[in-house]
Amino acid sequence: MSDIKQIKNLKDFSTSVERFQGGHRLCPGCSHSIIVREMLNATDDNICVSTATGCLEVCTAIYPYTSWDLSWIHIGFENAAAAISGTEAMYKALQKKGRPHSDKPTKFVAFGGDGGTYDIGFQSLSGAVERGHDFIYVCLDNEGYMNTGGQRSSSTPIGGATTTSPAGKVSYGEKRLKKDMVQIMAAHGCEFVAQVAPSKWKDLVKKTQRAYQASGPVYINAVSPCPTEWKFAPEKSMEICDLAVDSCVFPLYQIEDGHKVTVTYKPKVKKTVEEYCAAQGRFKHLFRPEFSHVIEDWQKRVDATWEYLLKREEAGI
């Protein structure tokens, strides 16, 4: 869109009024807080947030304390999208009656983990998008139910070891492929969908600013490495993010109007799936000879998906 505001620089971010405060109880190295802070600081408009039950909610609103310095709703695991779409509808109804009065527009944002998005929250998300509500849904994708013990979700990648898809002498962990939520939400007719990574903050903020200026539902999938369950040192979070995008396991791209693909980050030196897996304990079993085929097959799928995205971008479809 031609009227997108100029992206804030790092100095602007460091001097912005914080809407997401420190002092929360998220684990050291958790990417959730970085993603949320970057997104909320991307606009000066009023923001109303709904948060599904999950790591973000339980660690940022331990009564009587909160990290949220804005209008915030905690709702169930399964219905963050329903809550924020209802709030947006109420706001529009009040506007027709001449209130509330504000010199700034209000944006509506829902945050959910992949368990509350890919799985048990999918119905309310799909319904809210189908109804055409003006809101942004952000999935903090750490590829499992980390708040409740590290169980697998439909976002867990093949080969990942979780408490409900454990690796052992016979099993190599998760057997199913990760669900492609970005393509699913694009097929819903979202005006704008995108994948982002907190380590690529300029790309993340540019996409968030584009999302704030949309006139309908937006879906953003944000990779959020979990030191506890992905099993890496907390200080390595941004390195893991970079490995995810540089290996194209988690490509950074966007889809506008349900079809127009733009790849927003193309690694100069493409990393391998093997390098990505080697940095995380949840994949260590895949380096045993009997399971090496999992990484090989995964690499083929990643390469095919990457070529597919580049071809769609080139074709403008």
Of all residues in the chain, the percent with pLDDT exceeding 70 is 95
Residue 5 lies in a domain: no
Q: According to the model, what pLDDT value does residue 156 have?
A: 98
Of all residues in the chain, the percent with pLDDT exceeding 90 is 88
Instruction: Give the confidence band of 71 by pLDDT, cuts at 50, 70, 90.
Output: very high
Q: According to the model, what pLDDT value does residue 1 have?
A: 41
> Poorest-confidence range of 3-17, 61-75, 166-180?
3-17
Q: According to the model, what pLDDT value does residue 6 have?
A: 54
Burial of 27 (0-12, 13-18, 19+ CB in 10 A): middle
Residue 254 lies in a domain: yes
Is a pLDDT exceeding 50 seen at residue 37? yes
Residue 286 lies in a domain: yes
CA separation (Å) from 80 to 33, 47, 178, 192? 18, 15, 22, 19
Residue 2 lies in a domain: no
Domain count, the chain: 1
Q: According to the model, what pLDDT value does residue 2 have?
A: 38
Listed in sequence order, the residues at least 6 apart from 28 whose beta carbon sits closer than 8 Å to its beta carbon are 227, 234
Domain extent, residue 261, equals: 10-315
Residue 307 lies in a domain: yes
Nearest 5°: the CA angle 194, 253, 248 is 120
Nearest 5°: the CA angle 53, 244, 196 is 55
Q: According to the model, what pLDDT value does residue 75 have?
A: 94
Residue 182 lies in a domain: yes
Residue 39 lies in a domain: yes
Residue 3 lies in a domain: no
CATH number for 254: 3.40.50.970
Mean per-residue pLDDT, 10-25: 80
Is a pLDDT exceeding 50 seen at residue 3? no
Dist CA 278 CA 280 (whole Å): 6
